[in-house]
Amino acid sequence: MNIPSKHFEKAVDQLSTLPGVGRRSALRLALDLFKRSEVEIADFTSALIDFKQKVLHCKSCGNMTDDPICAICANPKRDHGTICIVEDIRDVMAIESTSTYQGIYHVLGGIISPMDGIGPADLNIESLLLKLEKETVKEIIFALSPTMEGDTTNFYLFKKLQRFECLITSISRGIAVGSELQYADELTLGRSLQQRQVFQSGH
């Protein structure tokens, strides 16, 4: 594909680095941006820069936030004795959209995946253990996707958490095996949370 401008080609190259954006899609996006005014482009780039510089990870749970502590962790009306463990921020958004869960979260930032070179040390696990040592928690919910990697992460966490005096549960298998949590519909996800089961090591 011959692009007559090296500057335009650079923009296409950058857009094509985004997940799910192929070369043709990147070209279409770049052409749309090219048609926009300088003010619109300035607003667009400013939003991206602000996003990168100002969006934080919650110091308590790892969720996305504009403040050191996210709105969920800072809310005294939430049940701080119940912690739902999720893979990433998209899962927090998915569960919150069900309006069925009133506890707090802990975002791992991934799941154990040897094929991708991701081990326990790459995940946000140590901060969870420190939290459990300092605070009273009555229930921990495993809400990871029902995939081989999700199950592997559940088993690893279960071994780490057994020493704490709290109930360990997992969402029910209403979500199809092999599917990702954030793609489940709100009704199915809500039911899976409400019908959660005591986690068994051979679960």
Q: Return the axis-axis angle of helices 89-96 and 186-194, rounded to nearest 10°.
A: 90
Q: What is the pLDDT of residues 7-53, one digit of tens each?
A: 999 999 999 999 999 999 999 999 999 999 999 999 999 999 999 99
Looking at the domain 6-54, which fold is it?
Helicase, Ruva Protein; domain 3 (1.10.8)
- The domain made up of 58-198 is a member of CATH 3.40.50.1370: no
pLDDT tier at 192, thresholds 50, 70, 90:
confident
pTM of the model: 0.84
Q: What is the pLDDT of residues 150-173, one digit of tens each?
A: 999 999 999 999 999 899 999 876
8 A C-beta contact, residue 30 and residue 16: no
Domain boundaries, the chain: 6-54, 58-198
Which pLDDT belongs to residue 182?
61
DSSP state for residue 59 in the 8-state scheme: T
Structure tokens at 119: 């081990």
Per-residue pLDDT at 178 exceeds 50: no
Q: What is the pLDDT of residues 44-79, one digit of tens each?
A: 999 999 999 999 999 999 999 999 999 999 999 999
